[in-house]
Amino acid sequence: MCWLEPLAAIVVALPEWLTAFPPGIRLFEVELLSADNGLAIAVEASRAPSATELEQMLASMKMFTTSSAQLWWKTSSQSKFVRLDTGGESLELALTDDVRLQVQPGQFVQVNGEINRQMIDQVLSLVRKTGTDKTASSKKGLAVDLFCGSGNFSLPLAAHFDRVIGIEGLEGLVRSAEANAQRNNLTNIEFMVSDLNDWSGMRKLKEKIDLVLLDPPRNGAAGAMPWIAKAKPKQIIYISCHPSTMVRDAKLLTEAGYSLSAAGVMDMFPHTAHVEAIALFEK
């Protein structure tokens, strides 16, 4: 389980901690990241703290949380957050019983870890129950995971397919996905950087695709739809944080000969009007 109680304590005490920051440090953004084995506070500010200022910050952090929290920092001259505390353990999220995802501030991760695990279970259930395989342990051919991030779906899919290819537009996330595959000893998975709105780079994928899974941002995946239709996968699992763009893209899939086989919604964002949707399309 994620560290929800310590995270809640930090949310309450955070304003007082930030108010006591040294003069001359202007705050731009603060990110809180809760993982299964700890949590992190990530600060984006006008400058980095001095050694003395950092020592005071770390000491004051221990006063308002009973659990040790990591401190990450980024200035405008940095492209990513850098960890400032001396702890060594990396933050991890369990995707399944056997697969763990290493995460850090600044990377995209699903905001609700518990619902994310249930969502992955649902995806794997759809994969096992459909297709030509007669047993749950039988592996299928090739799965392609679009907008794969750091491997949230690609890594669990590796246990159910002979080969998995994860595709992401951001090189930093691809490097993270590759490292996560290595940590989990997954050798049947590869990742590639590609513009997810320009599919000229995907022409080298000539082999038959059994599954395309896509989890695009809120604006959907209109640019990917022509390639998906041309690739003719047996199954398409579409996951969306903005169901209206999924409906728009689904129209193109139905025009390509696919029908909706299963659909559902998940309360990924409690206390908001937003939901996460999942849909299975088959020929």
Q: How confident is the model at residue 3 (pLDDT cuts 50, 70, 90)?
A: very low
Over residues 270-275, the mean pLDDT reads: 85
pLDDT at 110 (0 to 100): 85
Domain count for the chain: 2
Express each pLDDT in 231-251 by its tens digit.
999 999 999 999 999 999 999
101 and 221 co-located in one domain: yes
188 and 108 co-located in one domain: yes
Annotated catalytic residue: which of 109, 143, 241, 279? Answer: 241
129 and 249 co-located in one domain: yes
Domain-terminating residue out of 64, 89, 114: 89
The model scores a pTM over 0.75 = yes
Residue 55 maps to which CATH number?
A: 2.40.50.1070
pLDDT at 134 (0 to 100): 46
10 and 134 co-located in one domain: no
Cα dist. 217→104, 148, 166, 250 in Å? 20, 11, 16, 15
- Concerning whether 241 is annotated as a catalytic residue, the answer is yes
Beta carbons of 57 and 49 less than 8 angstroms apart: yes
pLDDT at 97 (0 to 100): 94
Express each pLDDT in 176-200 by its tens digit.
999 999 999 999 999 999 888 876 6
53 and 136 co-located in one domain: no
78 and 116 co-located in one domain: no
241 and 154 co-located in one domain: yes
Domain-terminating residue out of 89, 117, 142: 89
Positive or negative CA dihedral for 195, 219, 114, 35?
positive
109 and 25 co-located in one domain: no
Task: Decide which of 203 and 56 is more confident.
Answer: 56
pLDDT at 17 (0 to 100): 86
Residue 156 maps to which CATH number?
A: 3.40.50.150
Q: Where are the beta strands (DSSP E) in 27-185?
A: 27-35, 38-45, 69-74, 82-83, 91-94, 100-103, 140-146, 161-168
Q: How confident is the model at residue 270 (pLDDT cuts 50, 70, 90)?
A: confident
108 and 245 co-located in one domain: yes
**Which residue range(s) make up the domain with 42?**
4-89
pLDDT at 268 (0 to 100): 86
13 and 51 co-located in one domain: yes
115 and 245 co-located in one domain: yes
Q: Scanning the structure block, which residue is given the tokens 């090189």?
A: 171
Radius of gyration of the CA atoms of the chain, in A: 21
Q: How confident is the model at residue 66 (pLDDT cuts 50, 70, 90)?
A: low
Q: Is residue 29 scored above 60 in pLDDT?
A: yes
29 and 103 co-located in one domain: no
Over residues 266-278, the mean pLDDT reads: 88
Over residues 130-135, the mean pLDDT reads: 51
Domain-terminating residue out of 62, 89, 116: 89
